[in-house]
Amino acid sequence: MTRKAGAMRLDPYRRRGFECLCGNARMAARALTVLYDEHLAPAGITSGQLAVLWCVVGAEPVAMGDVARLLVMDKTTVSRNVAVLVAQGLVVVRAAEGDARVKALASTARGKRTFARAMPLWESAQAHVAGRMGAEKFSAAVLQTRRLARALGGVPRTR
């Protein structure tokens, strides 16, 4: 008997794992991260770093805790991404006005240029995925994942 390359035989117990929403979301997230990171490589940033820049550029200064809440990330993960962005000269961290305990982020001129350079690369990644899925399914997937995150209490409403 010949099986397709990459196919594996699973017993009914293991097969249940492929019915798990969390497991499937994590698999999709890993695949998307690899694809988006490849597309963003010419800009010198990763998809996680772009997400932080997205929160900062144009909304400066923004508290690091607000970035963590908006991205539904823990502060440690945001801090790691911010540290790389600071080392690259893309953002600066300052004490927030009125509360020195709060870390506020602002983009640098270089950060704004990098963000502008990343946008067409991000659009290319979006188009790549939409092309593989079909535009309608792509749009539905974006909407449904956002609805799921919101239903689970993770995503703040945006205006």
> pTM for the full model?
0.82
User: What is the third-level CATH fold of 44-151?
Assistant: Arc Repressor Mutant, subunit A (1.10.10)
Task: Map 71-90 to HEC letters.
Answer: HCCCHHHHHHHHHHHHHCCC
Digit-coded pLDDT (tens) for 89-128: 999 999 888 888 888 899 999 999 999 999 999 999 999 9
Q: What is the spatial distance between Cα 4 and Cα 13, in angstroms, rounded to a whole number?
A: 21
Distance separating alpha carbons of residues 37 and 53, to the nearest angstrom: 14
In this model, does residue 156 exceed pLDDT 70? no
